[in-house]
């Protein structure tokens, strides 16, 4: 029972991370793809989702599942509305100038983070998972006395972690259908392809932008609600998801949604595996440097196409 | 008065006013102003790249940190005395800036910002990783006895103030000279239209490279001076927040003006100082100011002033 089970465990942990990361990064990628702006405050919408989940769960009380389901609906909705309002009040007025948008979203980042500090406080607080029974996974190994079976005391995971993976995958599929099959998805893709022509065809581009910005934030908030029963809600928790989402979006190719999801799986899994076997700080240093170099030498990302 | 005369009169008057301020201000504000002068030097360095060359870096804390840790580690673990340690800090910042420039200048626009952000993040994590020497987040204190140059004790408040003022004046006058010289004009031309500058036969890459190195070295000088004058070296000075601060000061004071960075740093320091009196969430003010600036005064205080009344302001 040495390397194998640890690897299995690392892959499982990595898959949970990858599931959450793919949702968060998808939000960032969507905003960059359609609006061509970088939302530096994206991590704070993730934090907002987690903090709202705590507020909703505490306010409702009762069985943890009630609060959790309510949070899954309410938190992304509120985060989305706040983001759309920020877009309407601030980003629209700087005309989505890339640099001004970055500065403005840095401002929004601090406003949200510090408001959370004032209203929610500096503590990290847990949210109870709706269900959380342990599943023991069997493990067979060739030991000293021949074949040995480790069960149920080998290693295990929890039902909740499996649920996170399934829920994220379901949402990704739903989002894909929404983007490729629905009318609003079509409008979004049209705006992404050519803003001017879309405008000429009567698409209310400004309203589409506000919706896309809200949708991006809602995805991050949804991911946060999923992860908050495993980690905890804290006002500074937005930094890591932001950095990882940046990494994923860049590796996947700026604006390419398929690339983003592939990269999220790659980065999430390897992040989980590396941090089980190596120092997490070293892993982060290498990952960050690697991404910077990808951006320098292959700006279209690993999966992106070269711009014409 | 001729334009050149007015420009020199304004900047020398600022320095003269700061010399007098050191004599008349009460101890608390003298200490604050010493800190502001060092931070303003950092902002002056940042402004050279952002305000004049038009390159928005989100990772200048790594240069500030390189200066600070270059000096701090040399003094702490190498038993180097203060002045050579300061030079080591400068060299560290300059070398780091040169390496970053070679890589990051291959990208433009948003990619440049993200690449600098990423490099700075790895620099920050590297400081944490080598916690055995750097003491990570906790940082380390430089012994008072070692913090002197030529027998002058730099931990004494008045000496410290004037040391900070010398550093700031040097940075201010160097920038003033630079931006009015041919080199500075080319930087502004690159900011306004890089393609056209290239067409006119200027080597844009070489100018941008030198701008990054100069800007990084000035920022490193500020970092080294901060460690030396205030006797503390810590990882928080290399974090994202310290990359955002100079951007904030420069935007507030006016990007592309020589005294803007000082005005911005002064204003913001006292705003945050005042705000932290009634809430621990004082960065809220910084966020609100950033948003308000992008919306209502994208040119900053000095920039708006130049646009309306003082056309000659460099």
Tell me the CA distances in angstroms from A215 to A79, A115, A167, B15, one per residue in order.
9, 22, 17, 52
Residue A241: cis peptide before it, omega within 30 degrees of 0: no
At A268-283, the pLDDT tens digits run 888 777 777 777 777 7
A285 interfaces chain B, CB cutoff of 8 Å: yes
- Name the strand (E) or helix (H) holding B69: helix B61-77
State the Cα–Cα distance between residues A198 and B13, nearest whole angstrom: 56
Residue among A211, A204, A272 nearest A87 (CA): A211
- Chain B residues at the A interface, defined by Cβ less than 8 Å, are 56, 58, 103-104, 106-107, 109-111, 113-115, 117-119, 121-122, 125-126, 128-129, 240, 244, 247, 251, 279-284, 286-295, 298
Q: What pLDDT, on the 0 to 100 scale, is given for residue B304?
A: 80
State the Cα–Cα distance between residues A143 and A154, nearest whole angstrom: 14
CA within 13 Å, CB half, B237: 26
Q: Do B111 and A246 touch (CB under 8 A)?
A: no
pLDDT for A209 beyond 90: yes
pLDDT for A241 beyond 70: yes
Residue A242 lies in a domain: no
Q: How far is CA A241 from the centre of its chain?
A: 7
- Which chain A residues touch B114 with a CB distance below 8 Å? 38, 246, 250, 292, 295
Virtual torsion, Cα A99, A104, A107, A111, nearest 10 deg: -150
pLDDT for B78 beyond 60: yes
Token pair belonging to A297: 């030498």
Residue A264 lies in a domain: no
Q: What pLDDT, on the 0 to 100 scale, is given for residue A156?
A: 64
Lowest-pLDDT range, A46-60, A97-111, A153-167, A186-200? A153-167
Q: What pLDDT, on the 0 to 100 scale, is given for residue A153?
A: 53
Residue B267 lies in a domain: no
Q: What are phi and psi of A225, to 5 degrees?
A: -60, -40
Taking residues B224-251, what's their average pLDDT?
A: 89
Asked whether the beta carbons of A276 and B140 are under 8 A apart, the reply is no
As beta bridge partners, residue A156 has A136
- The residues, any chain, with a CB within 8 Å of residue A146's CB and separated by 6 or more, are none
Taking residues B7-34, what's their average pLDDT?
A: 87
Please report, rounded to a whole number, the percentage of residues in chain A having pLDDT higher than 70.
88
Taking residues B246-270, what's their average pLDDT?
A: 88
- Kindly report the three-state secondary structure assignment for every residue of A92-136: HHHCCCHHHHHHHHHHHHHHHHHHHHHHCCCCCECCCCCCCCEEE
Residue B182 lies in a domain: yes
Residue among A68, A190, A210, A185 nearest A126 (CA): A68
* Residue whose structure tokens are 């898959």: A15
pLDDT for A305 beyond 60: no
Q: Does residue B107 or residue B188 have the better pLDDT?
A: B188
Residue A9 lies in a domain: no
Q: What pLDDT, on the 0 to 100 scale, is given for residue B207?
A: 92
Residue A43: strand, helix, or coil: helix
- Name the strand (E) or helix (H) holding A156: strand A146-158
Taking residues B198-205, what's their average pLDDT?
A: 90
User: In total, how many domains does chain B have?
Assistant: 1
pLDDT-based confidence at residue A96 (cuts at 50, 70, 90): confident
Residue A244 lies in a domain: no
Token pair belonging to A183: 């009318």
State the Cα–Cα distance between residues B96 and B99, nearest whole angstrom: 5
Nearest by CB: B290 against A99, A103, A295: A103
User: In total, how many domains does chain A have?
Assistant: 1
Q: Quote the domain boundaries for residue B119.
A: 3-239
pLDDT for A308 beyond 50: no
Lowest-pLDDT range, A165-174, B22-31, B279-288? B279-288
Residue A290 lies in a domain: no
Asked whether the beta carbons of B265 and A89 are under 8 A apart, the reply is no
Token pair belonging to B215: 């800007």
pLDDT for A242 beyond 70: yes
pLDDT for A154 beyond 60: no
Residue B14 lies in a domain: yes
Residue B314 lies in a domain: no
Q: What is the DSSP string of B131-172?
A: HHHH-GGG-EEPPGGG-EETTEETTSHHHHHHHHHHHHHHHH
- Which chain A residues touch B129 with a CB distance below 8 Å? 279, 281-282, 285
Taking residues B72-96, what's their average pLDDT?
A: 90
Residue B300 lies in a domain: no
Residue B37 lies in a domain: yes
pLDDT for B90 beyond 80: yes
Residue A298 lies in a domain: no
- Which chain B residues touch A292 with a CB distance below 8 Å? 103-104, 114-115, 118-119, 122
Q: What is the DSSP string of B170-208?
A: HHHHHHHHHHHSHHHHHHHHHHH-HHHHHHTT--HHHHH
State the Cα–Cα distance between residues B111 and A301, nearest whole angstrom: 11
Q: What pLDDT, on the 0 to 100 scale, is given for residue A174?
A: 92
pLDDT for A144 beyond 70: no
Q: What are phi and psi of A155, to 5 degrees?
A: -145, 170
* Residue whose structure tokens are 């004046």: B169
Taking residues B12-34, what's their average pLDDT?
A: 87
Taking residues B134-152, what's their average pLDDT?
A: 79
Please report, rounded to a whole number, the percentage of residues in chain A having pLDDT higher than 90.
28
Nearest by CB: A100 against B122, B240, B298: B298
pLDDT for A186 beyond 50: yes
Q: What is the DSSP string of B75-124?
A: HHHS---HHHHHHHHHHHHHHHHHHHHHHHTTS-THHHHHHHHHHHHHHH
State the Cα–Cα distance between residues A266 and A278, nearest whole angstrom: 17
A100 interfaces chain B, CB cutoff of 8 Å: yes
- The residues, any chain, with a CB within 8 Å of residue B106's CB and separated by 6 or more, are A296, A297
State the Cα–Cα distance between residues B74 and B69, nearest whole angstrom: 8
In this structure, is the dihedral angle defined by the CA atoms of residues B127, B133, B138 and B143, taken in order, positive or negative? negative
**Per-residue buried b or exposed e for A41-67, using 16+ beta carbons within 10 Å of the residue's own CB:** bbbbbbbbbbbbbbbbbeebeeebeeb
Q: Quote the domain boundaries for residue A212.
A: 22-237
> Would you tell me how many other CB atoms lie within 10 Å of the CB of residue B311?
8
Lowest-pLDDT range, A12-16, A132-136, A153-157, B170-174? A153-157
Residue of B nearest to A106 (CA): B287
pLDDT for B273 beyond 50: yes
Residue B200 lies in a domain: yes
- Which chain A residues touch B279 with a CB distance below 8 Å? 118
**Per-residue buried b or exposed e for A168-207, using 16+ beta carbons within 10 Å of the residue's own CB:** beebbeebeeeeeeeeeeebbebbbeebeebeeeebebee
ipTM of model: 0.78
Query: What single-letter DSSP state applies at residue A233?
Result: B
Average pLDDT, chain B: 88
CA within 13 Å, CB half, A256: 20
Q: What pLDDT, on the 0 to 100 scale, is given for residue A65?
A: 82
Q: Does residue B297 or residue B212 have the better pLDDT?
A: B212
Asked whether the beta carbons of A23 and A248 are under 8 A apart, the reply is no
Q: Do A114 and B294 touch (CB under 8 A)?
A: no
Residue among B70, B73, B54 nearest B62 (CA): B70
Q: What pLDDT, on the 0 to 100 scale, is given for residue A168?
A: 92
pTM: 0.82
């Amino acid at each position: 029972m040495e390397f194998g089970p640890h690897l299995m465990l690392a892959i499982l942990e990595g898959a949970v991370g990858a599931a959450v990361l793919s949702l968060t990064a998808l939000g960032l990628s969507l905003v960059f793809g359609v609006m061509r702006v970088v939302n530096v405050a994206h991590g704070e919408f993730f934090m907002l989702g987690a903090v709202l989940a705590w507020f909703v769960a505490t306010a409702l009380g009762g069985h943890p599942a009630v609060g959790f389901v309510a949070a899954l609906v309410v938190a992304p909705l509120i985060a989305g509305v706040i983001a759309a309002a920020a877009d309407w009040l601030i980003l629209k007025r700087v005309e989505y100038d890339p640099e001004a948008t970055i500065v403005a979203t840095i401002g929004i980042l601090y406003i949200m983070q510090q408001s959370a500090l004032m209203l929610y406080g500096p503590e990290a607080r847990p949210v109870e998972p709706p269900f959380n029974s342990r599943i023991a996974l069997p493990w067979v190994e060739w030991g000293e006395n021949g074949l040995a079976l480790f069960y149920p005391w080998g290693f295990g995971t929890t039902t909740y972690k499996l649920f996170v993976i399934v829920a994220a995958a379901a949402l990704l599929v739903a989002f894909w259908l929404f983007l490729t099959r629905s009318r609003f998805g079509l409008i979004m893709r049209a705006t992404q392809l050519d803003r001017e022509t879309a405008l000429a065809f009567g698409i209310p581009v400004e309203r589409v932008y506000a919706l896309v910005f809200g949708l991006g934030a809602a995805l991050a908030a949804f991911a946060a609600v999923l992860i908050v029963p495993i980690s905890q809600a804290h006002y500074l928790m937005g930094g890591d998801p932001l950095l990882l989402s940046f990494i994923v979006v860049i590796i996947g190719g700026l604006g390419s949604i398929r690339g983003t999801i592939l990269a999220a799986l790659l980065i999430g899994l390897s992040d989980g595996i590396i941090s089980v076997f190596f120092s997490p700080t070293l892993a982060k240093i290498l990952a960050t440097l690697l991404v910077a170099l990808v951006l320098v030498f292959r700006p279209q990302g690993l999966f992106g196409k070269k711009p014409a | 008065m001729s334009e050149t005369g007015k420009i020199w009169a304004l900047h020398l008057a600022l320095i003269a006013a700061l010399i007098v301020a050191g004599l008349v201000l009460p101890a608390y504000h003298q200490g604050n102003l010493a800190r502001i002068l060092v931070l303003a030097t950092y902002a002056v360095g940042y402004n050279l790249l952002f305000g004049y060359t038009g390159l928005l870096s989100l990772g200048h804390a790594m240069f500030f940190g390189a200066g600070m840790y270059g000096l701090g580690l040399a003094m702490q673990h190498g038993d180097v005395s203060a002045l050579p340690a300061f030079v080591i800090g400068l060299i560290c910042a300059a070398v780091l800036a040169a390496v970053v420039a070679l890589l990051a200048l291959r990208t433009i626009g948003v990619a440049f910002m993200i690449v600098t952000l990423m490099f700075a993040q790895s620099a920050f994590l590297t400081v944490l990783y080598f916690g055995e020497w750097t003491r990570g987040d906790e940082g380390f204190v430089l012994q008072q006895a070692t913090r002197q140059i030529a027998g002058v004790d730099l931990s004494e408040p008045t000496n410290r103030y004037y040391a900070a003022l010398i550093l700031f004046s040097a940075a201010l006058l160097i920038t003033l000279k630079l931006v009015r010289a041919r080199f500075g004009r080319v930087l502004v031309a690159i900011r306004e239209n890089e393609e056209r500058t290239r067409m006119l036969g200027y080597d844009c890459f070489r100018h941008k490279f030198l701008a990054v190195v100069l800007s990084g070295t000035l920022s490193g000088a500020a970092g080294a001076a901060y460690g030396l004058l205030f006797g503390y070296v810590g990882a928080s000075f290399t974090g994202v927040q310290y990359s955002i601060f100079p951007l904030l000061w420069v935007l507030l004071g006016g990007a592309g003006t020589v005294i803007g960075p000082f005005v911005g740093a002064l204003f913001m320091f006292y705003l945050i100082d005042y705000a932290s009196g009634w809430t621990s969430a004082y960065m809220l003010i910084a966020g609100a100011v950033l948003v308000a600036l992008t919306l209502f005064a994208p040119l900053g205080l000095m920039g708006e002033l130049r646009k309306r009344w003082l056309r000659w302001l460099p």
